[in-house]
Amino acid sequence: MVEVFAVASGKGGTGKTTSTLALGMALAAEYDVTVIDADTGMANILFHAGLSDVETTLHEVLAGNAPVEEAVYRRFGMDVVPCGTSLGGFREAEPGRLRDVVATLAERTDVILLDSPATLGSRSAVLPIVLADRIVVVLQPTIPSLSDGLKVQEYATTYGTDVAGILFNRVTDDEAIDRIATKAQRYFEGETLAVVPESETVRAARRASEPLLAHAPDSPPAESYWEAASALTVRPGESAAVADRFRSAVIPDDS
Amino acid sequence: MKLPPGQLRRRRVVTDLSTPLANALEAELTGYMRLESQDALLLDGDGVGVLTFEDGIPVLAYHTGTDNGGAAALADIAVAGPHRMELYELDRHVLTEVHEEADLRVPPGLPAERLAGNSRLGERTRERAPGDRRHERSEGANELDAVEAFLDDEETIETLRERASEEATLRADEWGFEVE
């Protein structure tokens, strides 16, 4: 079985990478999880997962210079595919090859999480949302974040991708968030998976180059991610069928 | 609100307005920011947002499509990103008269909070504002009240969703994606 989730937000700074790795680690308690840094223009996962010194990343794979297996690193109980940070690597990468990467990895894992770019401005930025079965929308309780999140949802549903849920992150006001989450729920198709409080612990984890759930597994934000993961029901899909679907996805290679 | 063109200092497409607002603050810009929605470029244009600055501190906000000013204009601009942002420098005296339009004024920190969801930048902007403006606040409403008001505005949200869906369909064609 395999299900592919794109962790998305229309705008930067919502804590998408932190959320992707936290959800990945929490889901890894039950499933075989692979996390892919699909934000090829602004790689982050390598810094969050202590992988900044690795030689082979998704960039080399997307450039056709390495097989995907060489960019997979077993860390924190899951497989992590980081992206590199060099501009050269980004230029050489063929975003369309992400489809083959997902297809190959889909054959050997239960859950794939794609950390997606915080923009809808280009074909390659939207590709993870197109490839995924469902998206998880990471939001902050602000007008620009909510409106961008709604746009992400519209893009996803237009391209046949469902919404698994929304996650409010970096929340500072506990009382108002309940009202806001309830009101936001009217417009979003998935349920509210969790409300994650703003926390210095998240920044400390980032500085330590560790995912939050490894750095402070019992902290309040970590607790929220555990809750989010348990609210996320993974839908079983036949791995071979999913792999075929990605391979045959109508996405030209010339992007 | 009529403004002369001024000297173009920066032009780019932005998804997060924190950076240009912080840049304007650091550069102590006197002039204005013109914000045109990317949706408007792709679909039918429906106005632009304008934000004026004095020494890097926001003074007025106006939206040409809705004719709203002040905090209401910020709400119009906030939902319209990503934007093509242009930053213009103007002589101070050109803005003096324009800045007398009381209906269009915004508290110094409000644009960072509403347009970028960035309360830290809002606070920093307030701290750098001149003494008589430092304690200006929008009437009554705090940030989360504004978010709730946005979520209560079903019509605006419906329009936003329809436009995004329309945009996604147009782009699917351009990008070679299948639409279901």
In angstroms, what separates the C-alpha of B34 from chain A's closest C-alpha?
17
Per-residue pLDDT at A176: 87
Which residues, numbered 59 to 98 in chain A, qualify as contacts with chain B under a Cβ-Cβ cut-off of 8 Å? none
Amino acid type, A154 = E
Residue pair A40/A169 in contact by the 8 Å Cβ criterion: no
Of B18, B79, B152, the CB nearest to A143: B79
**Whole-angstrom Cα distance, residue A39 to residue A103?**
18
Q: Above 50 in pLDDT, residue A254?
A: no
pLDDT tens digit at each of 180 positions of chain B:
778 888 999 999 988 899 999 999 999 999 999 999 876 655 555 789 999 999 999 999 999 988 899 998 998 898 887 899 999 999 998 898 888 888 899 999 999 999 998 989 999 999 999 988 888 776 655 778 889 989 999 988 998 999 999 999 999 888 888 776
Amino acid type, A207 = R
Per-residue pLDDT at A253: 46
**Whole-angstrom Cα distance, residue B64 to residue B87?**
17
Residue pair A122/A40 in contact by the 8 Å Cβ criterion: no
Count CB-CB contacts under 10 A for residue A216.
Answer: 19
Domain limits of chain B?
Answer: 7-146
Locate the chain B residue with the closest alpha carbon to A127.
B177
Quote the strand ranges of B64-105, DSSP E.
Answer: 83-89
- Percentage of residues in chain A having pLDDT higher than 90: 74
Residue A180, both tokens: 């806001």
A107/B contact by beta carbon, under 8 A: no
CATH topology of domain A3-247: Rossmann fold (3.40.50)
Per-residue pLDDT at A255: 41
Amino acid type, B176 = G
Give the least confident one: A85-89, A241-245, B9-13.
Answer: A241-245
pLDDT (tens digit per residue) in A130-178: 999 999 999 999 988 999 999 999 999 999 999 999 999 999 877 789 9
Per-residue pLDDT at B145: 85
Contacts 24+ apart (CB under 8 A), A100-104: A100/A68, A100/A246, A100/A247, A101/A36, A101/A58, A101/A61, A101/A62, A101/A68, A102/A4, A102/A36, A102/A131, A102/A246, A103/A242, A103/A243, A103/A244, A103/A246, A103/A247, A104/A68, A104/A243
Task: Give A174's DSSP letter.
Answer: H
Check B165 against A158: CB less than 8 A apart: yes
A47/B contact by beta carbon, under 8 A: no
**Whole-angstrom Cα distance, residue A80 to residue A87?**
21
Q: Where are the alpha helices (DSSP H) in chain A?
A: 16-27, 45-48, 58-62, 87-92, 98-106, 123-131, 143-158, 174-185, 200-207, 212-215, 220-231, 239-248
**Whole-angstrom Cα distance, residue A75 to residue A50?**
9
Residue A252, both tokens: 């030209």
Per-residue pLDDT at A85: 85
Q: Above 60 in pLDDT, residue A115?
A: yes
A186/B contact by beta carbon, under 8 A: yes
Residues from chain A contacting residue B118 (CB–CB below 8 Å): 13
Of A126, A142, A183, the CB nearest to B152: A183
Residues from chain A contacting residue B110 (CB–CB below 8 Å): none
Domain limits of chain A?
Answer: 3-247
Check B143 against A142: CB less than 8 A apart: yes
Residue B80, both tokens: 């319209």
pLDDT (tens digit per residue) in A23-68: 999 999 999 999 999 998 888 999 999 999 999 999 999 999 999 9
**Whole-angstrom Cα distance, residue B98 to residue B58?**
13
